Chain A
Amino acid sequence: MNRRGLWPIVAVVAVLSCVPLVVHSDVILNFLVTALLLTLAGQGWSVLGGYGGQYSFGHAAFFGTGAYATAILQTRYGLNAWPAFALGIAAGAGMGAAIGALTFPARLRGSYFALVTLAFAEVLRILASVAPVTGAGVGILVKLDPGIHALQFSSRAAFYWFILSLVAAALVVTRLIEKSRFGAWLVAVRENEAAAQALGVDPTRVKLAAMTISAALTAAAGCFYVQYFLFIDAPIAYGPWISVEALLASIIGGAGTVFGPLLGALMVKTLGELAKLVTGDAPGLDLTLYGVVLILVVWVAPRGVAGIGARCRAWLARRQVGAGGSAA
């Protein structure tokens, strides 16, 4: 592994970790925490959707499974929050592997894959809204117990550093995938599955692995949600909002790039806050704007905002080569 590939991540995380030292406003820190939560979910989406080209419309299935597992293990089985958090991520990854194992061998891709993931999330939402173990329609409240032992913090700054460290881990994982042989296989499957297969890549196994990692990252966001808000119910856990927002953050920022979801999540959340400033708390306007931005991004910058940077660099490089050529 080339160590240079990790420097940008170290730099970005270092800058972000200084924010609570300068900013003491709970409102701003809360905003950043929700943006980083979305980054984590979007990073998960990007591994499968960006690098693997498999567009899931149902990442709520993983977010919700992580959230419910964390909450249920703590409240019903009295497990400590740390192992509950880890098991929550594992449960989400297991859900990803299970859905992947069902769908990929059946050769579902493109819109079919999007649809079937959506259907899985909906089935889970309905089950969670009636099953007693998930608290049915009432949801689950986790007991307030601030302290490092219960993974709850009384200060926003501590929560901020906690989610930032999770995002940092996700960024490193994404970077490692990008640079690894597995990442090359994944991109090969995205670009041309038949050709990849002809060269000895097993597309089903590669996609399955990507989905498992992707689900684990998005599940971590769900686990964090429970620790932060201490509440979960079926519409939050498995509702379409998180599927759509994870996809949006990733696509707008640039799916299949390391920093795309972070950029996208910050933009999406900023836009949402601006919409709230304009309209008060009237529902709907923020998501309407997200939809407009999604269409604009697909239209103007199909590779996301991070892709614009790459295109500018390519353009500058071409210009320099052109200038050098004419001088000689």
Chain B
Amino acid sequence: MQLSILFPAIVNGILNGALYALIALGLTLVYGVLHIINFAHGTLLTAALFAAFFLYRIFGLDPYISVLVLTPAFFLIGYALQRFVIGPVSRGDDSNILLVTLGLAVIIENGLLFAFRGDTRTIDVAYGFAVVPFAGMFISVPRLVGFAGAVVVTLLLWLLLGLSDTGKAIRAVAKEKLGAQLSGIDVPHIYALTFGLGAACVAVAACLLIPTYYVNPHVGNAFVLIAFTTVVLGGMGSIPGALIGGVFVGLIESLCGLYLGESLGQIGIFLMFILVLLLRPGGLLGARA
């Protein structure tokens, strides 16, 4: 394989991987604190992509500006979902949570399908195809922005969890729920807050994705297993792990696509996912078992 093809594939993989990391970040955060897998995560991304699409189409709002609207909006949606739907309905039972989030995923995906049909939509911003030359190749500007955005959000989240009082409360609940409750932390509130943060990550990712990507009611599914793979690779609940896992998954996808072709290329991710789960369920970094 010629280096002139391989090198751009690697760079593309890394750039995509950062966005995967951002999507996985929400998932890993929710897993780390609530110890549940949110199956509705991918469909929340679909919903956010639709929201960004219509904000652009109807109000002419640039996706990089609508991030300021959608992030708080999705934080509230996520908060409400956990506080008023997932929490009360599942009564804390793990398999119930699994079913409720699956139910939510089915509702969101098919509700969108019913409302907007299966058409694939794209937006055409002026900078959609802008490129910058770099080391003899061309790098897409929106993807570069996506990469930077993902890294910044990861950093912010890491600081929030590490330094703020809320972050401390979230970490306390993640480590020892009962102990946190006994020291006066409102656990359902923290749960909902964490879920809200996860949804907010997805909203940011959607705004960064939409300039170069498309949206249809099923688009989130493509990201669900990618995000799970990322999370599993990086170690469930680990934030730096999500970033590294995301970049790794992006690379694998890009290289498998290069060597195996577009449709068979996706298989690399799933196989890797299965292998990691079977052989090293604690993640490649071994963050936690």
* A residues at B contact (CB < 8 Å): 53, 55, 57, 102-103, 106-108, 110-112, 114-116, 118-120, 122-123, 126-127, 129-130, 240, 244, 247, 251, 279, 282-288, 290-292, 294-295, 298-299, 302
A45 to nearest B CB, angstroms? 12
In the complex, which residues 258-289 of chain B have their Cβ closer than 8 Å to any Cβ of chain A? 263-264, 266-267, 270-271, 273-274, 277-279, 281
B33 to nearest A CB, angstroms? 15
Supply 13 A–B pairs (Cβ within 8 Å), ascending by A.
A55-B98, A107-B281, A110-B94, A110-B95, A110-B98, A111-B94, A123-B271, A285-B110, A291-B107, A291-B110, A292-B107, A294-B100, A298-B96
B269 to nearest A CB, angstroms? 9
Contacts of B76 on A, CB cut-off 8 Å?
none
4 nearest A-B residue pairs (beta carbon): A284-B114, A284-B113, A291-B106, A291-B107
Q: A53-B95, A244-B106 are in contact. Are A126 and B113 (CB under 8 A)?
A: no
A238 to nearest B CB, angstroms? 12
Contacts of B107 on A, CB cut-off 8 Å?
288, 291-292, 295
Q: Could you tell me the distance between the alpha carbons of A52 and B134 in the complex, rounded to whole angstroms? A: 56
Residue in A106, A107, A126 whose beta carbon sits within 8 Å of that of B266 in the complex: A126
Say yes or no for B225: interface residue by CB 8 A criterion.
yes
In the complex, which residues 87-122 of chain B have their Cβ closer than 8 Å to any Cβ of chain A? 88-90, 93-96, 98-100, 102-107, 109-115, 117-118
Known A-B contacts: A106-B281, A126-B263. Give 8 more (CB < 8 A): A107-B281, A115-B37, A123-B274, A126-B267, A251-B99, A283-B118, A285-B110, A298-B96
Residue of A nearest to B115 (CB): A284
Q: A299-B89, A302-B96 are in contact. Are A291 and B270 (CB under 8 A)?
A: no
A134 to nearest B CB, angstroms? 13
Chain A interface helix/strand/loop/mixed: helix
Q: Could you tell me the distance between the alpha carbons of A290 and B270 in the complex, rounded to whole angstroms? A: 27
Say yes or no for B248: interface residue by CB 8 A criterion.
no
Contacts of B102 on A, CB cut-off 8 Å?
57, 244, 247, 294
Contacts between the two chains (Cβ within 8 Å), count = 121
In the complex, which residues 30-51 of chain B have their Cβ closer than 8 Å to any Cβ of chain A? 36-37, 39
A258 to nearest B CB, angstroms? 21
Contacts of A279 on B, CB cut-off 8 Å?
114
Residue of B nearest to A300 (CB): B89
Q: Could you tell me the distance between the alpha carbons of A126 and B267 in the complex, rounded to whole angstroms? A: 7
Residue of A nearest to B99 (CB): A298
Residue of B nearest to A108 (CB): B277
Q: A123-B267, A290-B106, A294-B103 are in contact. Are A283 and B113 (CB under 8 A)?
A: yes
Contacts of B221 on A, CB cut-off 8 Å?
240
Residue in A130, A240, A251 whose beta carbon sits within 8 Å of that of B263 in the complex: A130
Say yes or no for B152: interface residue by CB 8 A criterion.
no
Chain B window 218-232, contacts with chain A (Cβ cutoff 8 Å), 1 for yes, 0 for no: 000100010010001
Contacts of B89 on A, CB cut-off 8 Å?
295, 298-299
Q: Could you tell me the distance between the alpha carbons of A256 and B110 in the complex, rounded to whole angstroms? A: 28
Say yes or no for B217: interface residue by CB 8 A criterion.
yes
B31 to nearest A CB, angstroms? 9
Say yes or no for B61: interface residue by CB 8 A criterion.
no
Say yes or no for B85: interface residue by CB 8 A criterion.
yes
